[in-house]
Amino acid sequence: MFERICALLLRFYPTDFRRAYGREAVQLIRDRARDERGVFLRGRLLMDLVLDLFAMSLRGGHGGTPSLAPIDGAPRFDIIEGHGPRPEALAAGMLTSILLFASFTQLFDAKAPSKLPAQFSEGSGSEIPAGDSDDFDPQAVATDPEARHKLLAAIALNLRQLYFDRAKGQQLADAVQVHQKNGEYESLDTGTELAARINRDIQATSRALGIPAGEFVADVVYSARSLPTGPPPPMSDEMRERNRAMLLQQNCLFETIETLPHHVGYMKVNGFADASVCRETTGRAMASLNKTDALIVDLRDNGGGFGETALQIAGYLFDRPTDMYDPRRNSPVPARTASPISGNALVDKPVYVLTSPRTQSAAEYFVYNLKMLKRATIVGETTAGHQHSGAFYRISDHYGMGIQEAAPPDNPYPVKGWEVIGITPDVPVSSTDALAAARKLAEHQSRPK
């Protein structure tokens, strides 16, 4: 009923807007209606739509900035221009999508149908036992007892048959089914809540079984949009060249490179771009900071990317080849830095790395190793804890599961990774204050004794 009210309100928006963005608008309303429950949150959603409709009517549906602006962490409709997005906006959006997609495909190894258990359907190799993907309604799976039962049966089956330690996989599966029998999943209203609760139970059981904190075990994924049924097709030469041009235009995601007062180098990197395209750009960035007395690497907005670029940057901070731990058994990233680098003068300079809850994936790989090697001081907030190193299996249209299918490489460090727990800073401050705090530390450290 609530969605119908919102959809009715949407009919009052200008025709051009509904023609161009109507489908996306309805989907956004559904997503917010699913996640924002209660009188206050539903009232806020309606108010957002009314205010946006009023603003758009005053301006005739034109003249605003095309965006989805956040309010208290939730998106709302803002004024959208009648003409198409600016070229730079399209480039930035496509670049971000490519980067995130590349990160996902590197971290999760999507398995072909033949790799799935025999009990899984042969059609796509991804449906849960005794059920088709169409049986899963993304809005109702959490509350539909039969659909929930099928989902949990598939999760338990994966844990039992795919987790590399079969004995512990059996115990993990048994624990999930005990929670199910106790009715602990019945009160959950949405797919997001159900997946999060299952993951917490898996994590709690893994700790009880002695699996080290920070080591990846399994992760149930819920998606409001249909999950792909197989690995993506290879990029065409044209797409690859377009990607290369956009990366270079965006300076390979190096937002800022400058020398601050007191000869403190500052580098803000918002993602680790493809090294095959950006190796030279990364080298020039590091060379430009070669004469500084201390270095601040800002990863507060770095969502990850390619480990090779993270490894390349790390290579400038050591005077000899240095091992960098990667939780993936068959990682494409070399195990060691290419140190020493000719002409480099940063190997003995203090290094400060800025972090936030948005720091994740390949950025956490960089932060974790520098912290464990005691080569950098980490300043800011605990990172996201979002590097997955296992294989990914599609269960249905809206659910999938990552799982540690092979034993992870030996980890010499006392903290066995960063999965779920993130990486704690050496100097805990709010991410907003992290740069100021690091500058004070760097200026004090680099000051002549």
Which of 73, 100, 120 is where one domain is finished?
A: 73
Q: What is the dihedral of CA 236, 237, 243, 249, to 10 degrees?
A: -160
Number of domains in the chain: 2
326 lies in some domain: yes
Which residue type occupies 13?
Answer: Y
Q: CA 309, 312, 317, 323 torsion: positive or negative?
A: positive
Q: What is the pLDDT of residue 388?
A: 77
Contact partners, residue 338, CB within 8 Å, separation at least 6? 311, 312, 315, 321
Q: Where are the beta strands (DSSP E) in 32-182?
A: 68-71, 74-77, 109-110
Query: Is the CB of residue 282 less than 8 Å from the CB of residue 289?
Result: no
Q: CA dist 197 to 36, 176, 185, 220, Å?
A: 18, 10, 8, 10
Instruction: State yes or no: cis peptide before 340, omega within 30 of 0.
Output: yes
- Tokens representing 207 are 């700790």
254 lies in some domain: yes
pTM value is 0.71
Q: What is the pLDDT of residue 365?
A: 96
Chunk the chain into consecutive blocks of 10 residues (it has 449) and report each block's average pLDDT, rounded to whole numbers: 58 59 63 61 64 55 37 33 46 50 44 34 30 44 83 96 97 97 92 95 97 95 88 86 93 96 97 96 97 97 95 98 93 94 96 97 97 98 88 92 94 94 97 97 74
152 lies in some domain: no
Which of 50, 73, 96 is where one domain is finished?
A: 73
Q: What is the pLDDT of residue 141?
A: 63
CATH number assigned to the domain comprising residue 442:
3.90.226.10
β partners of residue 106: none
Q: Which domain holds residue 303?
A: 237-385+422-446
Phi, psi of 194 (to 5 degrees): -65, -45
